[in-house]
A and B are shown apart, each in its own frame.
Chain A
Amino acid sequence: DSGVTQTPKHLITATGQRVTLRCSPRSGDLSVYWYQQSLDQGLQFLIQYYNGEERAKGNILERFSAQQFPDLHSELNLSSLELGDSALYFCASSPHGETREPQHFGDGTRLSIL
């Protein structure tokens, strides 16, 4: 058990809809990362937050947004969903968000767009 909690485990919705994925980092970790894993794109870094502030941005679409709250949990919001957004979404956390710091992953949210 990595200590990172993601909810829900599965989400099924339709094109055009909006969903929110939630992540609770390991106790004591201040930084949260979001990743998308699909069959054709592999693991893609989306965005990183550190202590409530955005720290780094990857291949995140404009239809997606995230935030980290004062209690350090984070939410990833996906809107105007398309079939291609079907994927596994992972959250990871690390203590200080430094580049040479190990990240610990949750077990992901499987998003299916019908």
Chain B
Amino acid sequence: GENVEQHPSTLSVQEGDSAVIKCTYSDSASNYFPWYKQELGKGPQLIIDIRSNVGEKKDQRIAVTLNKTAKHFSLHITETQPEDSAVYFCAAWSASKIIFGSGTRLSIRP
């Protein structure tokens, strides 16, 4: 079946440095790729998304890039802050269903 692979599973970065999380998807028909942030005890929160007709999208310190040929997309967080610590999930829509990656636990070291 269709799947989404996410790497790394854990990531620790120094406050102020950048963090990058990568995902690959299997369904070439996928055309919408949201990223979610999940804090402890909360539901996933949409932080940024990208559609297949766009290669890059930026929102303040967060950016997402999409390479349709290689079927991978990445989340970039610059100037990381303590409040960026959370679990991040990528996702891809495939045949009317959304498939999530397995998550990345991001820790920001002071």
Partners in one complex: yes
Q: Which residues of A contact B (CB under 8 A)?
A: 2, 4, 33, 42-45, 55-56, 58, 90, 92, 99-100, 102-108
B61 partner residues in chain A, CB cutoff 8 A: none
**CA of A99 to CA of B99, assembled, Å:** 12
- Interface readout for B89-107 with A: 1 if CB under 8 Å, 0 if not? 1000100111111110000
**CA of A43 to CA of B32, assembled, Å:** 17
| B interface secondary structure, majority | strand
Q: Which residues of B contact A (CB under 8 A)?
A: 31-32, 34, 36, 41-46, 49, 51, 89, 93, 96-103
Tell which of B46, B96, B100 touches A99, judged by Cβ atoms closer than 8 Å.
B96
The reply to whether B96 and A105 form a contact with Cβ atoms under 8 Å apart is no
The reply to whether B44 and A105 form a contact with Cβ atoms under 8 Å apart is yes
Given A42-B103, A100-B51: A2 touches B45 (CB 8 Å cut-off):
yes
Tell which of B41, B45, B100 touches A43, judged by Cβ atoms closer than 8 Å.
B100
